[in-house]
Amino acid sequence: MKVNGNIQSIKDRILHELEDLYDKKYGSRDLVPEELAVTISRISAEINREISVLISRRGVIADISIGDSGTVTLPQVDARRGTTRLSAIRCIHTHPSGGGMLSQVDVSTLQKLRLDTMVAIGVADGQPSEIYTGCLNHEEGVDIYGPFSVGDTRLGYIYRIIEELDATAKSEIYENEEEAETAILVGLETSQSRLENITSKDAQESLEELEELAKTAGAVVVDKVLQKKQTEDSAYYIGKGKIEELSLMCQASDVQLLIFDDELSGAQIRNIEEMVKVRVIDRTTLILDIFAQRAVSREGKLQVELAQLKYKLPRLMGMGTQLSRLGGGIGTRGPGEKKLEVDRRHIRRRITGLEQELKQLEKRREFLRSNRTSNNTPVIAIVGYTNAGKSTLLNRMCGSEVLVEDKLFATLDPSARQLTMSDGREAILVDTVGFIRKLPHDLIEAFKSTLEEAVHADMLLHVVDASNENVSMQISVVEKLLEELGASTKNTILVLNKQDLIKDGRRISTVGYSSVCEISASTGFGIEQLLEKITEGFMHQLKEVNLLVPYNDGWVMPYIYKNGQLLEQEYEESGVKVKALVKIEKVGKLKDFIVV
């Protein structure tokens, strides 16, 4: 058996003395064995670190761990005896600072591991001084008893408390139902980010948005931490000292998950998890998880899986970088491939397969898109920041029932519905996936065919949550992503939604937009004006022409149907007299047939 925990710089003599304790067996009714208390107190004072010992009811030591001067991380107790019983394990640990009172971390550990009791020994001058012990009670809390001294006969009374509680424990004290994961959110503000005009306010707002993402994924956020550093720590992202603080917070609040506001490397995730002993994910993993929950169509599911695999591939741990450099020859032969390399090969094969499947689906999407073009039906794409009200607007304008939720990324798969404009013409209104700051690159690549609905649309409705305090940032994020997709030059109407929620009369910059409309998709306010602006927007792209088309020029009428709208036609002896709306850039080809 070995000593666990922080054993760096601990002399071999001390480690051997602690390891020898595994060979001893203590009396089943001896709650705090005097010999054990004296030994670990002396060693704790010498190394100025906490020492914990887990002992079973049979008097056998199950674990010995070393912490630092203020805490010690305990292993999980797996040998539970059902949901209504205690673990049959007690923890005895030292406080080298001198005080024996249980800390909040001690109390939460007692509850989390369902220990028989948590014993804290204060150490003074290398000797055990005051002793306190805590036990669970019937009200889901912890009762603390003490102070005691080594050999105090009153410690025997604690056994009676343990036996009574274990015999009559109520199931509600130890509910083992599946509950939402509790999480702490972690952000980082560096000197470099400040040089890039990313202020503390921006970093805090990003962390608040991360909280909304966590809630959407089903997590319960118990705390948010924003660390300020000169540069990002390559090993621990926010620094080893801050990670140690987070470890204490996780123990004190029984946190199961740490969520970081930026992408982490595989090494950073591994290092942090080893220190805090809870699961660690980053913003990208969280967004991918939400997308996985929301994907409904086959294409959506394939796109999410592709993004997940591309994100996972460079983060496979173990012998990753060394294996990737191995070739044939002396020193590379062995009994077979390492599991990591097998995993890499499997992921690469799956990525290739997914990309091929998505290409087939993309061809089908292009075919449907070309059909819309051949019918000369205008296509309007609704774009905007996530949770801006895009789906609500689609339902309001088209009378549809697309899923609407007050959550981020409620819409993942694009929805297309027929829209009747103010002049009676038909158009196709397409709802697209919402944008967000720090949208993962792999996700943009995977969803490129879906996002290209905005690229191929004839008009964009940029829907904005005008009631949001960060509205200017959200507008700039969408504009930047549209520019990356090549859709920034589209005819665009800025739609300032949720006017019914605005109370402070704030002004929103609309620089760069020639057409702006204020609406409330939920109440219907401004929808008629928006329809008129959409109709006007298409009218500006069309020119009314009067034509006389000879009967032998049979290509003209199909050309008009393809590039405009026929308003009137009358058959005369010399040809067909036509009044039509034609796209301005297509009128030139008809100049020989235009009549006044």
- State percent of the chain over pLDDT 90: 24
Asked if residue 347 is part of any domain, the answer here is no
Boundary of a domain, candidates 267, 290, 313: 290
Residues 84, 65 contacting (CB under 8 angstroms): no
Asked if residue 188 is part of any domain, the answer here is yes
pLDDT value at 268 more than 60: yes
Does 51 share its domain with 86?
yes
**Residue 286, domain CATH:** 3.40.50.11060
Asked if residue 336 is part of any domain, the answer here is no
C-alpha 89: how far from its chain's center?
A: 36
The order of strands in the sheet holding 142-148 is 4-5, 61-66, 51-56, 89-95, 118-124, 127-136, 142-148
Asked if residue 216 is part of any domain, the answer here is yes
pLDDT value at 79 more than 70: no
Tens digits of per-residue pLDDT, 96-148?
Answer: 987 889 988 888 888 888 888 999 999 999 999 999 999 988 777 899 998 99
pTM, entire model = 0.60
Does 44 share its domain with 69?
yes
Asked if residue 314 is part of any domain, the answer here is no
Boundary of a domain, candidates 265, 290, 315: 290
pLDDT value at 84 more than 80: no
Give residue 91's pLDDT band: very low, low, confident or very high (50, 70, 90): very high
Tens digits of per-residue pLDDT, 143-176?
Answer: 999 899 998 888 888 888 888 887 765 444 444 4
Residues 426, 456 contacting (CB under 8 angstroms): no
Number of domains in the chain: 4
**Residue 578, domain CATH:** 3.30.70
Does 145 share its domain with 199?
no
Q: Is the dihedral of CA 306, 307, 312, 313 positive or negative?
A: positive
Tens digits of per-residue pLDDT, 293-322?
Answer: 777 777 778 888 888 888 888 776 543 333
Window from 16-30, 78-92, 561-575, 581-595 with minimum mean pLDDT: 78-92
Amino acid type, 45: A
Structural domain that includes position 465: 375-539
Does 388 share its domain with 520?
yes
Does 534 share its domain with 427?
yes
Does 105 share its domain with 204?
no
Amino acid type, 561: Y
Tens digits of per-residue pLDDT, 392-424?
Answer: 898 899 887 766 666 566 555 667 888 888 877
pLDDT at 171: 43
- Give the mean pLDDT of 63-84: 65
Does 198 share its domain with 114?
no
Better-scored residue on pLDDT, 511 or 133: 133
pLDDT at 324: 40
pLDDT value at 510 more than 50: yes
Does 265 share its domain with 392?
no
Boundary of a domain, candidates 246, 268, 290: 290
- Give the mean pLDDT of 41-54: 93
Asked if residue 511 is part of any domain, the answer here is yes
pLDDT at 32: 92
Does 14 share its domain with 129?
yes
Distance CA 292, CA 223 (A): 25
Does 380 share its domain with 528?
yes
Give the CA dihedral 492, 496, 497, 498, nearest 10 degrees. Answer: 170
Does 19 share its domain with 104?
yes
Does 34 share its domain with 103?
yes
Give residue 92's pLDDT band: very low, low, confident or very high (50, 70, 90): very high
Amino acid type, 255: V
CA 524, 526, 531: angle at the middle one, nearest 5?
Answer: 100
pLDDT at 410: 57
